Amino acid sequence: MQRVLVYGANGYTGTLIAEEAARRGLSPVLGGRNREAVEALARRLGLRSRAFGLDDAAAVARGLDDVDLLLNCAGPFTRTAAPLLEACLARRVHYLDITGEIDVFAHCHRADTRARERGIVVAPGAGFDVVPTDGVAALLKRALPAATALVLAFEAGGGTSPGTARTSVEGLARGGRARIGGELVEVPLAWKTRSFVREDGVERSATTIPWGDVYTAYVSTGIPDIEVYLALPPRAIRSLRRLRLARPLLRFAPLRAWLEARAGARPGPDAARRAATQCRIWGEARDAAGRVERVQLVTPNGYALTVTCALDIAAHVLAAAPAGGYRTPSQLMGADYVCSVPGVRVVAATFDTSMTR
């Protein structure tokens, strides 16, 4: 993979991606703000490196010298995506990231016309957020073209990385989101609850969360009503609802920074835990006549899936040279891609998924 820059390579997920790229015999350039950490990782993996911050637009642009594609792994992406995307637009460099943040998807989507004019692909969400759920949304739309409502849900095993934990604190301050009548609507935290049944018969309680698919699934499918649920124990759902009262305090920057620092101090799951845990994805589409289609997937651990998908999507963009513009994962890779990822299984479906195998 020549002329690819992995930015934030010294972070938890960035390191996993860099290690897998090296294992595959690829040679991305490793980048980030922490020169010492980036250079140490590059030496260990036998790769090139370059360090630059994001507060100087000229320095960011120079950081993309001789680069064809940027894979941004540095979160929270609400703080890193904008300067890196601007540099990519200026230098005609494809932009990918592994965000799950609704506002980042919206920001990238607004750059669609400029990306088309410059012939570059802008494809945020190239990891667990939101590749499998976006693929499920596209499969359901294909099975039920007249769908008017879409429900997506997931159960993530294995724990979170420091970056994901920090981003979650930031997201709590923004409250819940849903897509209603085609519009993004702010809703309370843990707005709705329901249950989902796993393929092994275990029933899991779940609540709505402001997941990236509230934005991306609408772009992929045009379905006007979209809700995304996270499987959580009832006690955790009650705690989320209590946070509604504390939400104004989370807008206080010093308090939020303190909470983010505490959340980010915990290490992410180690290799053994990643290998031993899985994720489950549920999808349900309905149309105005009451017809319903459902599908359920089991996937590898979310971080393992992110590594595979991010590298697959980067390779596809470089090899296939798709037309420039904003793309969701299913628009770029096709609805069937998610089912071709190693370790992903369709475990239940109301429609024929044979074409996905």
pLDDT tens figures, 299-347: 999 999 999 999 999 999 999 989 999 999 999 999 999 999 999 999 9
| Stretch 14-43: mean pLDDT | 96
Q: Is the peptide bond before 254 cis (omega within 30 degrees of 0)?
A: no
CB atoms within 10 A of CB 133: 29
**High-pLDDT (> 70) share of the chain, %:** 88
Per-residue confidence at 253, pLDDT binned at 50, 70, 90?
Answer: low
Q: What is the pLDDT of residue 2?
A: 59
Instruction: Tell whether the model's pLDDT for residue 283 goes beyond 50.
Output: yes
Q: How far is 128 from 300, CA to CA, in rounded Å?
A: 10
| Stretch 80-99: mean pLDDT | 98
Q: What is the pLDDT of residue 163?
A: 59
Q: What residue spans of the chain are helical by DSSP H?
A: 12-23, 35-45, 57-63, 77-91, 102-110, 112-118, 131-143, 162-172, 213-221, 234-250, 253-264, 271-276, 302-320, 329-333, 337-340
Give which of 73, 31, 68 is closest to 49, Cα–Cα.
31
Q: What is the pLDDT of residue 356?
A: 43
Helix (H, G, I), strand (E, B) or coil at 268: coil
Q: What is the pLDDT of residue 309?
A: 98
The CATH code of the domain at 4-126+304-333 is 3.40.50.720
Asked if 284 contacts 294 with a C-beta cutoff of 8 angstroms, the reply is: yes
Q: What is the pLDDT of residue 304?
A: 96
Q: What is the pLDDT of residue 174?
A: 72
Instruction: Tell whether the model's pLDDT for residue 112 goes beyond 50.
Output: yes
- Alpha carbons within 13 angstroms on the beta-carbon side of residue 171 total 26
Instruction: Tell whether the model's pLDDT for residue 165 goes beyond 70.
Output: no
Of 116-125, 154-163, 171-180, the range with the lowest mean pLDDT is 154-163
The CATH code of the domain at 131-302+338-356 is 3.30.360
| Stretch 6-30: mean pLDDT | 96
> What is the chain's mean pLDDT, rounded?
91
Cβ burial, residue 34 (10 Å; 0-12/13-18/19+): middle
Structure tokens at 100: 């799950």
Q: How far is 199 from 324, CA to CA, in rounded Å?
A: 40
Q: Please report, for the chain, the start and end positions of each structural domain, with discontinuous segments joined by +.
A: 4-126+304-333, 131-302+338-356
Per-residue confidence at 1, pLDDT binned at 50, 70, 90?
Answer: very low
Cβ burial, residue 86 (10 Å; 0-12/13-18/19+): middle
> pTM above the 0.85 mark?
yes
Q: How far is 312 from 315, CA to CA, in rounded Å?
A: 5
pLDDT tens figures, 29-80: 999 999 999 999 999 999 999 999 999 999 999 999 999 999 999 988 999 9
DSSP state of 354: G
Q: DSSP 3-state helix, strand, coil percentages of the chain (rounded to 5)?
A: 45, 25, 30
Structure tokens at 174: 């923004």
Q: What is the pLDDT of residue 268?
A: 79
pLDDT tens figures, 198-251: 988 999 999 999 999 999 999 999 999 999 999 999 998 888 888 777 666 666
Q: Is the peptide bond before 214 cis (omega within 30 degrees of 0)?
A: no
pLDDT tens figures, 270-281: 899 999 999 999
Instruction: Tell whether the model's pLDDT for residue 357 goes beyond 50.
Output: no
Q: What is the pLDDT of residue 244?
A: 76
Do 4-126+304-333 and 131-302+338-356 agree at the fold level? Answer: no
Instruction: Tell whether the model's pLDDT for residue 254 goes beyond 90.
Output: no
| Stretch 257-268: mean pLDDT | 60
CB atoms within 10 A of CB 177: 24
